[in-house]
């Protein structure tokens, strides 16, 4: 007997024929529990064409994630919906759950085969609360399903800005929970440092506000600890005057790179005195382009417009690896050598590749001193030298190319890390939002922060729901 979940009455679980119960998968049982909890109107099943199930999958950034088929997608409209769902799901003995914000992750930490995927995309409202007292901050309350462009454009209506991400289609939740680099980091630190309050649904289903006064331990753990502690449904950011902003993208020829890199290194050296300045250097190889990939986007006026104009082609199979190292030209030169070698060695696969990108971003040590001890990233102690965040990306079109670049870039990353260590230019921190699933970013936060996150997880999630039932992402219980 085939169970058709959308048409069943609430009491169905207790009247299921034994053979149906035997064939119902864990995922379907989870979906049925949500229906039984009265959430049926927010559940999308694959068996109902046009109901939004496929549209939800198609809206993921990565093709790898789009191909994963959950038993149903649950699309809550409120934090109360999320709370009801977690209460219902946590009563079941098994069944996987995934949580998705903007859906920009490159690997399946936000979708789950034969499980329940909680798609927060309808929690996408941004509300600006202007200060009622002098010297108080305006607060931007941003729903966890928002992406940066819509959040920024809303706060800019008030002449304000937030420590936003820089690519407009990236989700607010994942970037902020992983720390978050921003064009405003020179003055404000990491994106998470400007969060004043998190509305969180805990494993018990309880909705709490985590901030410096209530649950300060949970508040701190959420600043970099990713999806280990609960489902954040709303982020309250301290907002500040937007001020003038000048930004543009410029493309230069490959043989100009030393000039550009020298100025990039110098910009990091003097960033503490010029904290508003920010530069990203990107190597771009596009095997299909008849001419080099050229763009000279004009200066934009606001952060929101700059984010909206950022290049972001969705729908490939992405292979990402990331490392940090000191602001040292020798390491960049080594990365450049490895980049050229990678392109040479994979010429035969270039028909299956859209782009190969290396990105270098500034990580001056003063970024970590905006909120010392206030987050779990550990950089207030470990970022002792001005550094660079390196991100290597291959945009593959086939599984074969994905596998090839996964192995090539794993080896490349290891070689680059060994080189940085050998010349005393390594930086310990790894950016959780950029690393490959085979890397171990939580470990880079340091022993004290790992122990702290384990304690917070045990306190707020004693059954380990977010460690075992929500398996996606880097789990604190797996860190040795
Ligand atoms: C929120 O999502 C809905 C449904 O996708 C969309 O129609 C709406 O424009 C979004 N709102 C914002 C502020 O992005």
Rg of the chain over Cα atoms, rounded to whole angstroms, equals: 23
If you average pLDDT over residues 87-93, what whole number do you get? 97
Locate the ligand 1 atom nearest the alpha carbon of residue 146 and give its number.
14
* Model confidence at 272: pLDDT above 90: yes
149 lines ligand 1 (CB under 6 A): no
Q: Which is the closest atom of ligand 1 to the Cα of 126? A: 13
Cβ 124 under 6 angstroms from ligand 1 = yes
Q: CA 302, CA 33: separation in Å to the nearest integer?
A: 45
Ligand 1 centroid to Cα of residue 307, in Å, is: 17
Inter-residue contact 230 to 76 (CB < 8 Å): no
Class (C level, CATH) for 126-242: alpha beta
pLDDT at residue 15 in the model? 36
d(CA 167, CA 436): 19
Model confidence at 298, in pLDDT bands (50, 70, 90)?
Answer: low
Atom number of ligand 1 nearest to Cα 147: 14
Write the CATH number of the domain with boundaries 248-298+313-437. 3.40.462
Range name among 100-104, 117-121, 130-134, 221-225 with the lowest pLDDT average:
130-134
Band the pLDDT of 240: cuts 50, 70, 90: very high
Where do the structural domains in the chain lie, given as residue ranges? 10-119, 126-242, 248-298+313-437
pLDDT of residue 130: 96
In angstroms, the CA 206 to CA 201 distance is 6
- CATH architecture label of 10-119: 2-Layer Sandwich (3.30)
pLDDT mean over 343-363: 95
pLDDT of 202 strictly over 50:
yes
Q: Is the dihedral of CA 329, 334, 335, 337 positive or negative?
A: positive
- Is-contact 111 99, C-beta < 8 A? no
In the reported structure, the alpha carbon of residue 152 is separated from the centroid of ligand 1 by a whole-number distance in angstroms of 14
Q: How high is the pLDDT of residue 257?
A: 93
* Among 18-32, 282-296, 351-365, the range of highest mean pLDDT: 351-365
Ligand 1 atom 4, closest CA = 122
Residue nearest to ligand 1 atom 6, measured at CA: 122
Say how far residue 228 (Cα) sits from the centre of its chain: 13
> Which tokens belong to 478?
């797996």
Task: Assess contact for 164 and 303: CB atoms under 8 A.
Answer: yes
Distance CA(57)–CA(318), nearest Å, equals 16
Distance in Å, CA 123 to ligand 1 centroid: 9
Task: Tell me what pLDDT residue 61 has.
Answer: 97
Q: What is the pLDDT of residues 390-436, one digit of tens each?
A: 999 999 999 999 999 999 999 999 999 999 999 999 999 999 999 99
Q: What is the pLDDT of residue 457?
A: 98
Ligand 1 centre distance from Cα of residue 231 (Å): 20
Per-residue pLDDT tens digits for 20-52: 444 678 999 999 999 999 999 999 999 887 889
- Which helix (H) or strand (E) is 116 found in, with range? strand 116-119
Of 444, 242, 249, 246, nearest to 363 (Cα)? 444
Euclidean distance between CA atoms 88 and 118, whole angstroms: 13
Percent of the chain at pLDDT above 90?
83
* pLDDT mean across residues, the chain: 92
Q: What's the rounded Cα separation, in Å, for the pair 280 and 357? A: 12
Range in 5-14, 265-274, 276-285, 455-464 with the lowest mean pLDDT: 5-14
Q: pLDDT class for 300, splitting at 50, 70, 90?
A: low
Minimum-distance ligand 1 atom for the alpha carbon of 154? 13
| pLDDT-above-70 percentage for the chain | 92
Find how far residue 266's CA is from the centre of its chain: 29
**pLDDT number for residue 289:** 67
Ligand 1 site-directed mutation target among 124, 150, 168, most atoms within 8 Å of CB: 124
pTM for the structure as a whole = 0.93
CB 20 within 8 Å of CB 12: no
Distance 54 CA to ligand 1 centre (A): 17
Task: Identify the band that residue 294 occupies on the pLDDT scale cut at 50, 70 and 90.
Answer: very low
Largest CA distance in the chain: 73
Interval between CA 124 and ligand 1 midpoint (Å): 6
Answer yes or no: same fold for 10-119 and 248-298+313-437: no
Tell me, in angstroms, the distance from the centre of ligand 1 to residue 170's CA.
Answer: 15
Task: Phi first, then psi: give them for residue 445, nearest 5 degrees.
Answer: -75, -15
Sole residue written with tokens 């930004």: 247
As given in the structure block, the two tokens for residue 415 are: 């070689």
Q: How many CB atoms lie within 10 A of CB 195?
A: 26
């Amino acid at each position: 007997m085939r169970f058709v979940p959308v048409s069943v009455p609430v009491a169905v679980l207790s009247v299921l024929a034994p053979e149906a119960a035997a064939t119902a998968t864990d995922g379907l049982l989870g979906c049925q529990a949500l229906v039984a909890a009265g959430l049926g109107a927010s559940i999308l099943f694959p068996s109902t064409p046009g109901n939004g199930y496929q549209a939800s999958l198609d809206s993921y950034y990565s093709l790898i994630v789009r191909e994963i088929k959950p038993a149903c997608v649950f699309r809550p409209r409120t934090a109360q919906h999320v709370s009801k769902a977690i209460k219902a799901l946590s009563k079941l003995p098994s069944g996987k759950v995934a949580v998705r914000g903007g859906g920009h992750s490159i690997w399946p930490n936000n979708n789950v085969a034969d499980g329940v995927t909680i798609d927060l995309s309808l929690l996408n409202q941004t509300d600006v609360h202007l200060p009622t007292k002098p010297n108080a901050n305006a607060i931007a309350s941003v729903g966890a399903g928002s992406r940066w462009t819509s959040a920024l454009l809303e706060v800019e209506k008030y002449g304000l800005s937030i420590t936003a991400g820089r690519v407009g289609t990236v989700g607010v939740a994942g970037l902020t929970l992983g720390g978050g680099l921003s064009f405003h980091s020179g003055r404000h630190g990491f994106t998470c440092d400007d969060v004043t309050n998190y509305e969180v649904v805990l494993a018990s289903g309880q909705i709490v506000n985590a901030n410096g006064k209530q649950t300060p331990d949970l508040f701190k753990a959420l600043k970099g600890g990713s999806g280990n502690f609960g489902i954040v449904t709303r982020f309250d950011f301290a907002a500040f005057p937007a001020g003038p902003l000048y930004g543009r993208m410029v493309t230069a020829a490959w043989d100009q790179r030393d000039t550009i890199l020298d100025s990039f290194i110098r910009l990091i050296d003097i960033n503490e005195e010029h904290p508003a300045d920010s530069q990203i250097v990107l190597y771009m190889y596009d095997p299909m382009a008849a001419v080099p990939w050229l763009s000279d986007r004009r200066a934009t006026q606001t952060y929101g417009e700059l984010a909206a104009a950022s290049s972001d082609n969705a729908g490939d199979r992405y292979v990402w690896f990331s490392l940090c190292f000191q602001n040292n030209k020798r390491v960049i030169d080594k990365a450049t050598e490895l980049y050229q070698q990678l392109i040479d060695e994979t010429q035969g696969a270039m028909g299956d590749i859209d782009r190969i990108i290396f990105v270098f971003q500034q990580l001056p040590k003063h970024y970590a001193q905006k909120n010392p001890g206030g987050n779990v990233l550990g950089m207030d102690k470990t970022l002792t030298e001005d550094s660079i965040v390196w991100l290597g990306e291959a945009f593959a079109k086939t599984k074969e190319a994905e596998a090839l670049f996964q192995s090539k870039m794993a080896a490349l990353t290891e070689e680059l890390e060994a080189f940085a260590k050998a010349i005393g230019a390594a930086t310990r921190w790894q950016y959780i939002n950029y690393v490959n699933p085979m890397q171990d970013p939580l470990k880079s936060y340091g022993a004290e922060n790992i122990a702290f996150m384990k304690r917070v997880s045990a306190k707020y999630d004693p059954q380990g729901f977010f460690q075992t039932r929500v398996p996606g992402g880097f789990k604190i219980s797996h860190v040795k």
